[in-house]
Amino acid sequence: MQTVDLLIRNIGQLATIAGEGPRMGPAASELGIIENGAVAAIDGRIVAAGPESEVLAVVEPDSDCAVIDAGAAVVTPGFVDPHTHAVFARTREDEFAMRVEGRSYEEIAAAGGGIRSSVRHVRAATDELLFRNGARALDRMLEYGTTTAEIKSGYGLSLEAELKMLRVISKLAEHHAVDVVPTFLGAHEFPDEWRDDRDGYVTHLIDEIIPLVAREGLAEFCDVFCEEDVFTVEQSRRLLLAAASRGLRPKLHADELHASGGGELAAEVGAISADHLVCVSDAGIRAMANAGVVAVLLPGTTLSLGKRDFAPARKFVDAGVPVALATDCNPGSSMTESMQIIVSLASMVMRLTPAEALVAATANSAAAVGRSGSVGSIEPGKLADLIVWEVVDYRAIPYHYGVNLTRMVIKRGAVVSGESPAAASTDGGSR
């Protein structure tokens, strides 16, 4: 008998999503549902998950075990949000109002708004302000079920400011319950002082900033905004190959506003993911499928920008590309921390089935940040990162949108949001 300090019983639908990840094709809709299930953990890691009778036959609660009655509700892995810009100095609701009035993203940027507006604010901000804002965003993410989140730099665009952002992200990783994955995005835009020497800025990133980021171990990934009027395919290639030579694995903002060849480049350089992909070409989809690149789709951004065409999720699934979902939480084009609303949008506007959307927000999102070995599914050896829902059918998660349906969020075996274990253990009613 294995002694455990967490036991969740009376689970109506236990969506384990167990097995090798990421999921693609028909496997992208396999949730591995176990009815009348249970999960047991010790020291933050799962030791048993399956039918309740089988779990209870091999585990024994210790004297301080948190025993949680799920009330015949759904239990899933915690969400993984693989694309956020959650550290920033100020929100940009003024730009939101301008978009509603008919101004385009490009027009707002040309007038001094957009990313460069956030750059000016971050450069002037204290570390304490950036940390406070980032922690507040992570708090909200956690409440809505996100237990692992990637955070990018990219609002500094200078050596000093990029390092400031990355050090704040590192501090958040040390102190917050949400596990934080750091990504360097110094190639998010061209800063004002380099607008007339774009190739010079690329060289500055390669020769000065990337080596220092790598030497200090401040990031795992290097991302580039490969797009018309931002970084060309050739500039992006130079940056990503230089970063990879320093141990930073490539990611791309790709084909968001135009078919710029980002999907093809992601495959060429061995990127772990290509993100956005609203305008990706069929050739880009084929290249990503052949290279095993995860497609991270951001429907909240498309919605917030007031655009009608969303990323072609069904094309990716049909082509055998693993699809992940993310909030793109940022002050300019997707001001949300809720992976729940993203899962709903994935089904409502991108036509992913509820099962495909849940896989995209867990197992495949974990793969998009190199975390398949520790999170994204419910199976022995992985972190006990779990959501106990207020629903008895997993399809209700995308269906009942715009509200928080989490009853309890568990991170590394501890309840971090929602009901306490003592309160939960007395509630056996079906929700």
**For the chain, how big is the Rg over CA atoms in Å?**
21
Domain ranges of the chain: 2-78+376-425, 79-368
**φ, ψ (nearest 5 deg) of residue 182:** -90, 135
DSSP 211-269: HHHHHTT--SEEEEEESTTSB-HHHHHHHHHHHHHTTPEEEEEESSSS--SHHHHHHHH
From CA 80, how far away is CA 40, in angstroms rounded?
Answer: 21
**Which residues, in sequence order, are bridge partners of residue 48?**
40
From CA 270, how far away is CA 243, in angstroms rounded?
Answer: 12
CATH class of domain segment(s) 79-368: alpha beta
- The whole-number pLDDT of residue 111 equals 82
From CA 387, how far away is CA 408, in angstroms rounded?
Answer: 6
- The whole-number pLDDT of residue 109 equals 83
- Cβ neighbours for 197, distance < 8 A, ≥ 6 positions apart: none
- The whole-number pLDDT of residue 21 equals 80
- Indicate the pTM of the whole model: 0.96
- The whole-number pLDDT of residue 422 equals 53
Give exposure, 406-416, as e/b (b: 16+ Cβ within 10 Å): bbbbbbbbebb
DSSP 67-118: EEE-TT-EEEEPEEE-------S---HHHHHHHHTT--HHHHHHTT-THHHH
- The whole-number pLDDT of residue 55 equals 98
Instruction: HSE, CB side, 13 Å, CA atoms: give it for residue 419.
Output: 21
The CATH T-level fold of domain 2-78+376-425 is Urease, subunit C; domain 1 (2.30.40)
Q: Of 298, 300, 290, 297, nearest to 264 (Cα)?
A: 290
**Which residues, in sequence order, are bridge partners of residue 15?**
33
- The whole-number pLDDT of residue 427 equals 39
- The whole-number pLDDT of residue 431 equals 32
DSSP strand pairing (2-15 vs 33-42): antiparallel
Identical fold between 2-78+376-425 and 79-368: no
Give the C-alpha distances (Å, rounded to integers) separating 117 from 22, 87, 332. 36, 14, 9
Per-residue pLDDT of the chain (431 residues; tens, 9 = 90+): 999 999 999 999 999 999 988 999 999 999 999 999 999 999 999 999 999 999 999 999 999 999 999 999 999 999 999 999 999 999 999 999 999 999 887 888 888 889 999 999 999 999 999 999 999 999 999 999 999 999 999 999 999 999 999 999 999 999 999 999 999 999 999 999 999 999 999 999 999 999 999 999 999 999 999 999 899 999 999 999 999 999 999 999 999 999 999 999 999 999 999 999 999 999 999 999 999 999 999 999 999 999 999 999 999 999 999 999 999 999 999 999 999 999 999 999 999 999 999 999 999 999 999 999 999 999 999 999 999 999 999 999 999 999 999 999 999 999 999 976 654 443 333 33
- The tokens for 293 are 């690149």
From CA 72, how far away is CA 55, in angstroms rounded?
Answer: 16
From CA 141, how far away is CA 149, in angstroms rounded?
Answer: 9
- Taken in order 170, 172, 175, 179, the sign of the CA dihedral is negative
* DSSP letter (8 states) at residue 310: P
